[in-house]
Structure 1
Amino acid sequence: MTTDAERILPGTRVPLGELPKISLHDHLDGGLRAQTIIDLAPAAGVELPADTADALASWFVESCSSGELVDYLKTFDITIAVMQTAENLTRIAQEFVEDLAKDGVIYGELRWAPEQHQRQGLTLDQAVEAVQAGIDEAVEAIEADGGWIRAGQLISAMRQNDRGMEIAQLALRHRDAGAHGFDIAGPEKGFPPSRFADAFDLLARECFPVTVHAGEADGLESIRSALVDGHALRIGHGVCIADDIELEEGDDDASYVTLGRLAQWIKDRGIPLETSPSSNLQTAAFTAWGPGMTGHPFDVLYQLGFRVTVNTDNRLMSGTSLTREVALLVDAFGYDADDVEQFMVNAAEAAFLPLEDREELIERIIAGFGRA
């Protein structure tokens, strides 16, 4: 049987797994190898629910499929517990980038919250430096082996805590040493971006890019706050923007679309949406458009001209890869190579990189999709 990685999409001769990809929404603490958790758990004093890599990986997927974001987030108690030393952070970051490269990713942003990794005495700066060491080691090894990848950190603040300004300042300290952007993560409902308005204002004044988790577990006001209070250049997930889109069947069998003001604003300004299909399905981030992947608003958004991107969110918790996420969308909506190439170009254009670097990514995508 042909695997997702081996599939050949209409319009290209290159296997899906080898096509160049961009990963914008990928959590470091959600992308550990199951075997690595098993290796690190004893020294960290962590009791695991399974003792083999396959069984542990299955446990994560099953535990994250309740349809509730809060339950989904509880599984991170295990991964974060083994990420409390510089050595462990460096190993995990290195493996993370290696796994991206094996998946055909040529640029990845690793988002994580340093404030969750201080239980054994690491300072915030030491934690960031440890992760960057792992990223650098992986990139160097991949290039030495003839590959090519670029990666950086997105420094996240936990929205239920009160350390927004502190973490924003941390990100700024490391902006020339691997920090590509800022994010807020954690429980969305009840913790709007407006709580960190002062931090977002600082980042805007310093011209430092921001993405905000919004429109995943909360509605349109969360997205609006991300744009207004957070000065967000991208929206993490953002699938609830579909609630601001009305589809009607006319008497002539044609469909008519009406966009609300917020949806129209996001579309007209090309604000990227970091959709994560499997994760969105697990947390029931969308329900009104039908069951399963075919009910995901991704295709409606794409057909209407929104700047959609494809992401994994948490590869361990969803048992997925970027190749698999693309394959799921291909199966659900019949996309070909031209469509997938557009998704990757959308992501490259949205990357938190200088213009010249983004243009290089786009050139690599076009070349990768076009080579015979």
Structure 2
Amino acid sequence: MADPVAIPGTAPITRDTVRRAPKVLLHDHLDGGLRVGTVVELARESGYDKLPTTDPGELAAWFLGAAHSGSLVRYLETFGHTVAVMQSREALTRVAAEAAEDLAADGVVYAEVRFAPELHVEGGLDLDAVVDAVLDGFALGAERAAAAGRTIRIGTLLTAMRHAARSREIAELSVKFRDEADAGVRSGGVVGFDIAGAEKGFPPTRHLDAFEYVRQQNAHVTIHAGEAFGLPSIWEAIQWCGADRLGHGVRIVDDIDTTGERPALGRLAAYVRDMRVPLEMCPTSNLHTGAAPSLAEHPIGLLTDLRFRVTVNTDNRLMSGCTLTSELTDLADTFGYGWDTLQWFTVNAMKSAFIGFDERLALIDDVIKPGYAALRG
């Protein structure tokens, strides 16, 4: 999707200018985005002694190297360390507050950050206390960002682990905390439900009762699908489980024939595009897990050209050593995208957010479009 030739006064696309652009993030894991210094400090405070190193620089390099293995299973193993240091209320609140601050500093104006409450109960917290601690952290971080002159709105997604058996419990928790926010019990709330973890051998239909409950409650669903596994995972997520969005969805390209003069979409790919099912694409993470061999060969290029509802995301900022600024800048460098395409990605994401229509529209009209217009000059 080529942009018009740049006009005089248009800001060049660099890390600095893209950081200034208002951005929207839909796929970011709380336990994959810790500050490396925080991991070291929390490990020391909690007595966790299994980090490969306590030197922050060396630890950052270790996370990146372990993640860049070409294996989703190996990639997921790195979370054992971050989850281990997120087992107290204080730790969870700190990590969430820092996530909100870091995203705001990166120019993100709206983010949906996900985490699995069931992974944070080893220190004695119950599920409600875990969610409370994280929501308090997001609120605190947003307040600190506002004091620094940056505005961010955080929506929370509760994730169930697809290899475990607590999905219905987590689904009910997501609806409970959504309802509390709507009733004014607290200022921030949960905006949707997700499942994550290794796809192979753990199809989303194993959790059908959880998805049916969420849909019956008029709540939102996003499902990790089509990352390391193929079209059956995507088909089940949409047609059986009612996913509003696809986490990753990279393998939808397996249903697109590119051997002819023009790409030919199969039934599932055509449905995903026609129904504007949002794809939460995470390019750098996909390279690290082996879902794509290089950025130039990443399916995001073809899917953008074909006008799927593509959004750009970070997945795990610590493990992949990325930010939303770096993701968008790298895409612009690789595919020759200009500000029009970066705005298109951003508006796609805002349209696909799990918050009310009025709030989405206000962010698009009052924040996103003026922000990109200023960069065009």
TM-score normalised by the shorter chain: which range applies?
over 0.9
1:29 maps to 2:7? no
Conservation of the 8 A alpha-carbon contact between 2:70 and 2:287: yes
2: distance between equivalents of 1:221 and 1:10? 42
| Among candidates 243, 253, 264, match of residue 270 of structure 2 | 264
Q: Secondary structure at the match of 1:293?
A: coil
In the TM superposition, what whole-angstrom CA distance separates every residue of 1:313-372 from its partner, at most 9, and x where no partner exists?
A: 000000000000011111110000000000000000000010001101212110100124
1:54: Cα distance to partner?
1.4
Aligned residues: percent identity? 49
| Among candidates 10, 13, 22, match of residue 11 of structure 2 | 13
Conservation of the 8 A alpha-carbon contact between 2:282 and 2:315: yes
1:178: Cα distance to partner?
1.0
1:334 maps to 2:333? no
Partner of 1:6: none
Conservation of the 8 A alpha-carbon contact between 2:112 and 2:157: yes
Matches within 5 A, 1:141-180: 141-175=144-178, 176=181, 177-180=188-191
The aligned amino acid for 1:152 is: G
The aligned amino acid for 1:280 is: N
Conservation of the 8 A alpha-carbon contact between 1:238 and 1:275: yes
| Among candidates 81, 84, 87, match of residue 84 of structure 1 | 87
Partner of 1:218: 229
Partner of 1:94: 97
TM score, norm. by length of structure 1: 0.93
1:139 maps to 2:162? no
2: distance between equivalents of 1:323 and 1:127? 30
2: distance between equivalents of 1:93 and 1:78? 16
Conservation of the 8 A alpha-carbon contact between 1:101 and 1:149: yes
The count of residues paired between Structure 1 and Structure 2 equals 355
Q: Secondary structure at the match of 2:149?
A: coil
Conservation of the 8 A alpha-carbon contact between 1:44 and 1:81: no
The aligned amino acid for 1:316 is: L
1:248: Cα distance to partner?
2.0
In the TM superposition, what whole-angstrom CA distance separates every residue of 1:37-66 from its partner, at most 9, and x where no partner exists?
A: 011102323222122211111100100111
2: distance between equivalents of 1:42 and 1:143? 30
| Among candidates 199, 212, 217, match of residue 206 of structure 1 | 217
2: distance between equivalents of 1:44 and 1:370? 47
Partner of 1:246: 257
TM score, norm. by length of structure 2: 0.92
Conservation of the 8 A alpha-carbon contact between 2:114 and 2:159: yes
1:231: Cα distance to partner?
0.8
CA RMSD of aligned residues (A): 1.3
Conservation of the 8 A alpha-carbon contact between 1:345 and 1:362: yes
1:228: Cα distance to partner?
1.8
Q: Secondary structure at the match of 2:262?
A: strand
Q: Secondary structure at the match of 2:315?
A: coil
Structure 1 runs not aligned, ≥5 long: 1-8, 250-254
1:10: Cα distance to partner?
4.7
1: distance between equivalents of 2:58 and 2:88? 25
Matches within 5 A, 1:293-372: 293-363=295-365, 364-371=367-374, 372=377
Conservation of the 8 A alpha-carbon contact between 1:114 and 1:127: yes
Kindly indicate whether structure 1 or structure 2 has the higher relative contact order, using CA contacts under 8 Å at least 6 residues apart: 2
Partner of 1:279: 285
